[in-house]
């Protein structure tokens, strides 16, 4: 039986990928931290191993006997560019270093990046993999550089890079705040109306990641993954509020207030020693009007399809939050 080694397996996307891999009949080994919350892995036929992802020897020890490597762990929130470099670029380098020790047996190394690594569309036309990349934030730049590093080894390892759009679905904390607020009927719009973004339900993404890993066509390639229909920024809140049976009340928060909020968040994070969830770097992402992509290449190469429409995905996510007593 083939074995998959998954980093970031305790997270929202990673744990959903683990579920998909198990359904496909793979043995799964999950790299975790000492402090990781294992609730999404409990009761499942998986092996967990405490691994230092900044130590290639430790990674190689845990990875031994695995045939597929899925690298999802990384740094999403940080207070400095240095932290993004360490958490995304250096960690990717250590993963490659460890994987090269088993290059004769590894069938695929999959790196899950982000649409932000490519930047944004200047025209509103969905970005394609052949378009030049121009990331605008520390996070996006670090993920793009990690992509470049990994792809530099495609003559030695069968690598594949996945760039998902904004991900939502069960187990997600980031979008949960939107669901909580939606109980009031208030729909917060950040910056301005009608900004467009590509989104994907986590179940579609997990299925797509696994499909790419199992396809020979995907070796050495980069793929965007998102629903074919981009979403207006305010559309997500509207859909959640509608699913709750309420009427939407739009409130637009202008950029100058967001700038003040990002500065206050940075000050608080320095005082408290916490990671800033909202800072000037995230504000750069919010200012882009078109963070949209096309998944046509993934559809062509291995039949990828983000089949869950926004309204159905929101309803099922809302139900999951309720079933699990989050709402």
Q: Which pLDDT tens digit goes with each residue over 163-211?
A: 999 999 999 988 888 888 888 999 999 999 999 999 999 999 999 999 9
Residues found in the chain: 327
- Check pLDDT > 80 for residue 276: no
Q: If you average pLDDT over residues 54-77, what whole number do you get?
A: 95
| 141 vs 174: which has the higher pLDDT | 141
Q: Whose structure tokens read 């000037």?
A: 280
Determine the CATH number of domain 3-170+197-229+290-308.
Answer: 3.40.50.720
Per-residue model confidence (pLDDT) at position 181: 86
pLDDT in tens, 9-48: 999 999 999 999 999 999 999 999 999 999 999 999 999 9
- Check pLDDT > 90 for residue 309: yes
* CB-count burial class (<10 Å; 0-12, 13-18, 19+) for 34: exposed
Residue 290's DSSP bridge partners are 196
3-state secondary structure 104-166: CCCCEEEEECCHHHCCCCCCCCCECCCCCCCCCCHHHHHHHHHHHHHHCCCCCCCEEEEEECE
Q: How confident is the model at residue 102 (pLDDT cuts 50, 70, 90)?
A: very high
Per-residue model confidence (pLDDT) at position 252: 93
Among 169, 187, 180, 175, smallest CA distance to 327 is for 180
User: Where does 244-291 have alpha helices with state H?
Assistant: 255-272, 280-287
Q: How confident is the model at residue 112 (pLDDT cuts 50, 70, 90)?
A: very high
Percentage, residues of the chain above pLDDT 70 = 100
Whole-Å CA distances, 324 to 24, 244, 292, 319? 26, 17, 32, 8
Paired tokens of 150? 């990994």
Q: How confident is the model at residue 266 (pLDDT cuts 50, 70, 90)?
A: confident
- Taking the C-alpha atoms of residue 133 and residue 191, their distance in angstroms, rounded to an integer, is 24
DSSP secondary-structure letter at 88?
I
Per-residue model confidence (pLDDT) at position 273: 78
Could you tell me the residue ranges of all domains in the chain?
3-170+197-229+290-308
- Taking the C-alpha atoms of residue 100 and residue 6, their distance in angstroms, rounded to an integer, is 16
């Amino acid at each position: 039986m083939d074995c998959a080694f998954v980093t970031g397996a305790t997270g929202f996307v990673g744990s959903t990928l683990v579920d998909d891999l198990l359904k496909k009949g793979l043995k799964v080994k999950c790299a975790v931290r000492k402090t990781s919350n294992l609730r999404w892995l409990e009761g499942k036929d998986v092996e967990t191993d405490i691994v230092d992802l900044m130590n290639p020897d430790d990674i190689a020890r845990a990875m031994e006997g695995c045939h597929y490597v899925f690298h999802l762990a990384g740094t999403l929130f940080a207070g400095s560019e240095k932290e993004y470099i360490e958490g995304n670029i250096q960690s990717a380098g250590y993963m490659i270093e460890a994987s090269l020790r088993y290059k004769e047996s590894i069938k695929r190394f999959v790196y899950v990046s982000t649409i932000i690594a490519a930047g944004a569309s200047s025209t509103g036309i969905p970005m394609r993999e052949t378009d030049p990349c121009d990331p605008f934030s520390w996070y996006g730049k670090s993920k793009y550089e990690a992509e470049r590093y990994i792809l530099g080894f495609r003559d030695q390892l069968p690598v594949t890079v996945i760039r998902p759009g904004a991900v939502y679905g069960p187990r997600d904390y980031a979008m949960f705040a939107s669901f909580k607020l939606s109980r009031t009927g208030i729909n917060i719009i950040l910056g301005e109306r009608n900004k467009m973004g590509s989104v994907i339900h986590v179940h579609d993404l997990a299925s797509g990641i696994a499909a790419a890993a199992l396809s020979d066509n995907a070796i050495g390639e980069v793929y965007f993954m998102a629903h074919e229909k981009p979403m207006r920024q305010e559309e997500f809140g509207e859909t959640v509020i509608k699913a709750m049976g309420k009427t939407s009340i739009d409130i637009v928060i202008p950029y100058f207030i967001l700038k003040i909020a990002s500065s206050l968040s940075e000050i608080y994070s320095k005082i408290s020693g916490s990671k800033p969830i909202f800072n000037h770097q995230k504000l750069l992402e919010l200012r882009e009007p078109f963070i949209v992509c096309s998944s046509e290449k993934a559809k062509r190469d291995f039949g990828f399809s983000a089949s869950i429409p926004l309204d159905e995905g929101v309803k099922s996510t809302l139900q999951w939050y309720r079933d699990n007593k989050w709402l």
